[in-house]
A and B are shown apart, each in its own frame.
Chain A
Amino acid sequence: MSEFKIQSDNVDVEKIMEQIRSRIKDKRGVDYTEDQIKELANVKLERFLDPKNVRSDLLKHYRQNKQKDKDGIALVRPPIPSGTYDVDPDVIYRSSRGIAGKVLYGLRKVLKPILKLFFNPDMIVHILAIQKSQIEWMVDTHVELSERFEKIAKARVELDALTYEVLNNLVVEMTRLSIDVKNHKMRVESVASRLDFDERRARALEQVVAYQPNARKNSTTNADDAKDDGGDGSQGRKRRRRRRGRRRPDAPPTAEVKEAVASEPQATTESAGTKNDNDGNTVSTSDDPSQASGSAKSPDTTGQ
């Protein structure tokens, strides 16, 4: 993590916090809190997701449907007919009027043969018996089905709650991932540009190293001269250092270089042998010592 550049005589908490926020923003794109992500997942999905594939108002609709289901799921069980109807052969002749009923029942039994002349009452009793058994079966089936439906409905409510939770989490995660992808893209671009810069810098430094012995020889002479003058050798080196313009690796050597190579062929060979020894010096010419040393550690605040 790079250092803060703060003047100690002008410290303000809010300004430093703004600086911190902008540093975080630079690193990870946009800084969203958990609540903001949830809000975005609920409201502004179309900004991050493909609206053709995912409905931005998915959760809203889901909630509405869930409420409708909840309202409609209350099952009203129809009343089961009360009372028992024993269907026996005499059922159509009986009466419930007490003593008068008994008299009436006796009279009907007496007149039964006459009645049979007009139609067959036994068949009616038989059909009634069949209907009774069928109705009983239907009631039993209805009760059983109602119970099964209630169980299924209850299970569905629980399942819906889980589904809703899963769906909600999925949408939130999708939003989070979309934001992460966006941030990672920005970081990849940033890393790519840095890599590009480093490659160009490395090529430039290689060029410097290739002709270092010659320069070193001159520098030693200059340093000696400087010492002779009562000066500091390092100052001599500082005077000598100058930034070289970026050169394409395939660019032809200048006339000066050609001349140097031609006059001192062994020096070039020697320079290759001492290249590693000079690495430290060459790296130190970087504009940014912290980058060159590679010791600074940068926190990955994007992983939260």
Chain B
Amino acid sequence: MKLAVVVQRYGADLNGGAELHARYIAERLARHADVEVLTTCARDYITWRNELPPGTDSVNGLSVKRFKVSRERNPSDFGKLSQYVFGDLHSIADELKWLQAEGPTSPELIDYLLQDTNRYDYVIFFSYRYYHAYHGIRVIPQRAILVPTAERDPALGLAIFRPTFRAVRAVMYNSYEEQSLIHKVSENEHVPGVVVGVGSEVPETASPERFRHRAEITGDFMLYVGRIDENKGCAEMFDYFQRYSSQVSNKLKLVLIGSPVMNIPKHPNIRHLGFVTEEEKYDAMAAATVLLMPSYFESLSMVTIEAWAMNLPVIVNGKCDVLRGQTIRANGGLYYESYGEFAESVHALETNRDLRLKFAGDGRTYYEGHYTWDVIEQKYISMIDQLEASPPPRQKTISKNQTGWFERRKRNCSPAQDVVNKLPTGPVLDPAKNTRRKSTSNKP
């Protein structure tokens, strides 16, 4: 069987969420099938500038075909168009302009797929919102499997993507919350889909003593792993932690791992270690009391899954439906939506060892049941087997422009933000029924 993985960027040193996800999946599926990666020459997701040479390359033993991006992104134009299609009544033509402006515009990649539509048995597209996925799926919908990596952002409300979700052969979701959002926005319940996510492999030999000795850290500490960024909820995390230190307990420390893009407050209990190796990261997880995940928007938090794999309970931002839902389903930690809940949750886990152990154990069980690589690989293989067993549905080819010339220019598309605001909120508490509970808070 020959599979293709199509993703906007690809490389061993690219650590973006979807790109890393795509690489992991490609490398794992290569054990079961002949896998080729189709991607662009871009490295920077802001400009999509061609930085890597076009042609065939090899990354970790996998064949990678790179195609040139025909035009770089103009952030100013893209910003204006985004503002317009997200906030105003607009037309399909406007949305197509937005897609073009977003990039990475690589007609060569689409032409390559079009040249021989039988070249691959199945083509796995990552990230629904980019040019390659939109146009690629239109070229070979009968062979397309989509990994949407969708979040609750306004792009999900754009009308052009609804046929995409309905046209593919299968959808591999990252979480039940994502599945629920996409079902609601596109009514694609008939498309075979499964909640998969991404696997995690943790070392058996992580050493807390090694970490404490190397980092010279004693006592209990909360761990944050990831980019230190306001968009990741770090400003709120620092505020809450400093208040907790001054009002409740100053014994607990906060250890940060990752590159900063915001100022880290100077506080005796906050320690920033910068970028560390994988071994050091897992050592830190083994030594930590609890993992803190303050992000508002996550389609899947790999760090949280790794924490559970390392027997570490978590405290997550309850305003992120995905994190909250995962934590509840895993029974692997607590969540907060205000400082009061943060203080109580942290204090509960800091002082109650039994509680920590119980959450850690349940988190590990959840990881073993859902996020080991064997489970993930099996879900992909089962889905492909299911698609093989059932003939592709007879469907019309999807027009890349969606509708006729006049229809395309009618300003009858609702603002994307309004569409997203109407989608259900809250975690999915019963995945079997895929029912959501109404969230108690609004998004920021």
User: Do A and B come together as binding partners?
Assistant: yes
Q: A residues touching B (Cβ–Cβ < 8 Å)? A: 1, 3-4, 6, 8-9, 11-14, 16-17, 20-21, 23-24, 27-28, 31, 33, 35, 297, 299-304
A-binding segment of B139-147, B241-249, B374-382: B241-249
Given A24-B341, A31-B338, A300-B247, residue A8 in contact with residue B357 (CB < 8 A): yes
* Residues in A neighbouring B327, C-beta threshold 8 A: 13
A-B contact pairs, 24 of them (CB 8 A): A1-B343, A4-B355, A11-B362, A12-B331, A13-B328, A14-B328, A16-B334, A17-B334, A17-B335, A20-B334, A20-B341, A20-B348, A23-B344, A24-B341, A31-B338, A33-B440, A33-B441, A299-B247, A299-B248, A299-B343, A301-B339, A301-B340, A303-B243, A303-B247
Instruction: Check B442 for interface membership: any CB of A closer than 8 A.
Output: yes
Residue B345 lies at the interface, judged by CB distance under 8 Å to chain A: yes
B229-277 interface with A by 8 A CB criterion: 243-244, 247-249
- In the bound complex, residues from chain A placing their C-beta under 8 Å from that of B352 are 3-4, 6
A293 to chain B, nearest CB (A): 16
> Given the complex, which residues of A lie within 8 Å of B282, measured CB to CB?
none
A11 to B349, CA, bound (A): 12
Q: Report B321-360 CB contacts with A as 1/0, cut-off 8 Å.
A: 0000001100111110111110111011001101101110
In this complex, how many residues of chain B approach chain A with their Cβ under 8 Å: the count is 33
With A3-B352, A11-B331, A11-B355 known as contacts, the answer to whether A301 contacts B362 (CB < 8 A) is no
Say which residue of B247, B341, B441 sits within 8 Å of A35 (CB atoms).
B441
Q: Count A/B pairs, Cβ under 8 Å.
A: 82
Measured between beta carbons, the chain B residues less than 8 angstroms from A304 are: 243, 338-340
Min CB gap B402→A, angstroms: 36
- Known contacts A24-B340, A301-B339: does B331 contact A13 (CB below 8 Å)? yes
Min CB–CB distance B83 → chain A (angstroms) = 21
Nearest CB in chain A: distance from B349 CB, A: 9
User: Once the chains are docked, how many angstroms separate the CA of A17 from the CA of B335?
Assistant: 8
Interchain CB contact under 8 A, A11 and B359: yes
Contact B248 A6 (CB under 8 A): no
Q: List A contacts of B347 (CB < 8 A).
A: 1, 299
- A35: chain B residues at CB < 8 Å are 441-442
- Let me know if A11 and B333 touch, CB within 8 A: no
- Residues of A contacting B244 with CB < 8 Å? 299
Looking at the assembled complex, report how far the CB atom of B368 sits from the nearest CB atom of chain A, in whole angstroms: 18
Residue of B nearest to A35 (CB): B442
For the complex formed, measure the closest distance between the CB of B425 and the CB atoms of chain A, giving whole angstroms. 13
Chain B min CB distance to A238 (Å): 29
Nearest-CB distance from B162 to chain A (Å)? 29
Query: What is the minimal beta-carbon distance from B176 to any residue of chain A, in angstroms?
Result: 16
Minimum C-beta distance from B322 to chain A (A): 15
A4 surroundings in chain B (CB, below 8 A) = 348, 351-352, 355
Q: How far, in angstroms, from A14 to B352 measured CA to CA in the complex?
A: 17
Q: Is the CB of B358 within 8 A of A33?
A: no
Using CB atoms and an 8 Å cutoff, list the residues of chain B in contact with chain A: 243-244, 247-249, 327-328, 331-335, 337-341, 343-345, 347-348, 351-352, 354-355, 357-359, 362, 440-442
Chain A's nearest CB lies how many Å from the CB of B107? 45
A16, A28, A297, A302: the one contacting B348 at CB < 8 Å is A16
Whether A28 and B355, one on each chain, are in contact in the complex, defined by CB atoms closer than 8 angstroms, is no
Q: How far is the CB of B248 from chain A (nearest CB, A)?
A: 4
Q: Is the CB of B344 within 8 A of A24?
A: yes
Across the two chains, which residue of chain B brings its CB closest to A6?
A: B355
A267 to B343, CA, bound (A): 51
Find B341's partner among A21, A297, A303 (CB 8 Å cutoff): A21
Are A31 and B441 within 8 A (Cβ)? no
Q: Are A8 and B355 in contact (CB under 8 A)?
A: yes
Alpha-carbon distance A297/B244, docked complex (angstroms): 12
Known: A299-B244, A303-B243. 19 other contacts (CB 8 A): A1-B344, A1-B347, A4-B348, A4-B351, A6-B354, A11-B358, A11-B362, A12-B331, A13-B328, A13-B331, A16-B334, A16-B355, A17-B334, A17-B335, A24-B341, A33-B338, A300-B247, A304-B338, A304-B339
Which among A3, A20, A24, A297 is the interface contact of B249 at CB below 8 angstroms? A297
Which residues on B sit within 8 Å (CB–CB) of A6?
348, 352, 354-355
Residue of A nearest to B318 (CB): A17
Choose among B328, B331, B345 the residue that contacts A20 (Cβ–Cβ < 8 A): B345
A139 to B344, CA, bound (A): 73
A4, A27, A35: residue with the most chain B Cβ atoms closer than 10 Å: A4
Least CB distance, B222 to chain A, in whole angstroms: 16
B328 to chain A, nearest CB (A): 5
- Indicate the member of B328, B334, B335, B352 with the most A CB atoms within 10 Å: B352
Complex contacts, B247 vs chain A, CB 8 Å: 297, 299-300, 303
Is there an interface contact between B351 and A13, defined as CB atoms closer than 8 Å?
A: no
Query: Smallest distance from the beta carbon of A154 to chain B beta carbons, Å?
Result: 25
A302 to B345, CA, bound (A): 16
| Complexed CA–CA distance, A9 and B332 (Å) | 14
- If A1-B344, A3-B351, A8-B358 touch, whether A33 touches B248 (CB-CB below 8 Å) is no
Chain A positions within 8 Å of B442 at CB level: 33, 35
B344, A301: Cβ atoms closer than 8 Å: yes
| Chain A residues with CB below 8 A from B345, complex form | 20
**Could you tell me the distance between the alpha carbons of A95 and B333 in the complex, rounded to whole angstroms?**
99
Whether B334 and A297, one on each chain, are in contact in the complex, defined by CB atoms closer than 8 angstroms, is no
A300 CA to B340 CA in the complex, in Å? 8
Question: Given A6-B354, A297-B248, A299-B347: A28 and B340 within 8 A (CB)?
Answer: yes
Measured CB to CB, the nearest residue on chain A to B359 is A11
Q: Cβ of B243: which chain A residues have Cβ within 8 Å of it?
A: 303-304
The interface centre, meaning the residue of A11, A13, A28, A300 with most chain B CB atoms within 10 A of its CB, is A13
Residues of A within 8 A of B354 (CB): 6, 8
Q: A4-B355, A8-B357, A20-B345 are in contact. Are A31 and B248 (CB under 8 A)?
A: no
Q: Are B441 and A17 in contact (CB under 8 A)?
A: no
Q: How far is it, in angstroms, between the C-alpha of A27 and the C-alpha of B338 when the chains are bound?
A: 14
Q: Which residues of B contact A1 (CB under 8 A)?
A: 248, 343-344, 347
Rounded to whole Å, the gap between the CB of A299 and the closest CB of chain B is: 4
Which residues from B are CB-within-8-Å of A20?
334, 341, 344-345, 348
Per the bound structure, the CA–CA distance linking A279 and B111 in Å amounts to 88
Closest to B348 in A: A4
CB-CB < 8 A to A31: which residues of B? 338, 340
Cβ of A17 and Cβ of B341 under 8 Å apart?
yes
Complex Cα distance, B328 from A13, in Å, reads 6
Which residues of A have CB within 8 Å of B339? 301, 304
State how many angstroms separate the Cβ of B437 from the closest Cβ of chain A: 10
Task: Give the residue name and chain of the B residue nearest to A25 (CB).
Answer: B340
Residues of A within 8 A of B332 (CB): 13
Shortest beta-carbon distance, B331 to chain A, in Å?
5
Docked CA distance A139–B288 (Å)? 81
